[in-house]
Amino acid sequence: MNQTKKLPARFRPETQFELRLTPAVPFRANLESEFEQLKNRLLAERLAAPAKPELTAPLRRAANEAAAIAWVSLFPLLVFPALFEEKSQAAERQVRRQARIYEHTRELVVTA
């Protein structure tokens, strides 16, 4: 029922080739360093422009969110500035909106 048949092994002449490994880690480390420098520079410029302390935390959060999204793209150094611009504008709109809501609710609480 269960028969095994031995096959003779035939080997060809040995083939040799040269394998050159290119380390990906140093390049990624350089890219990470450049990416962090870009992120810090753009964030510092954005924080210096409108000297509003209430924008500090939302802008840092926007930079981190944009960095997280850009880092998984193929070209993070190209993608990050546009993402950061969008996220920081959204953060500034949110801070202005919160300030308006605070003003309106403060008036409601004072008059009540």
Let me know: does 13 contact 41? Beta carbons within 8 Å: no
The DSSP code for 14 is P
How do the pLDDT tens digits run along the chain, 112 residues long? Answer: 678 888 787 777 777 777 777 655 545 667 788 999 999 999 999 998 766 888 999 999 999 999 999 999 989 999 999 999 999 999 999 999 999 999 888 877 766 5
Ramachandran angles phi, psi of 50, nearest 5°: -100, 100
pTM for the predicted model, two decimal places: 0.67
Handedness of CA 73, 78, 83, 88 (dihedral sign): positive
Provide the 3-class DSSP secondary structure of residue 57.
helix
Let me know: does 88 contact 59? Beta carbons within 8 Å: yes
The whole-angstrom separation of Cα 69 and Cα 16 is 43
Domain ranges of the chain: 36-111
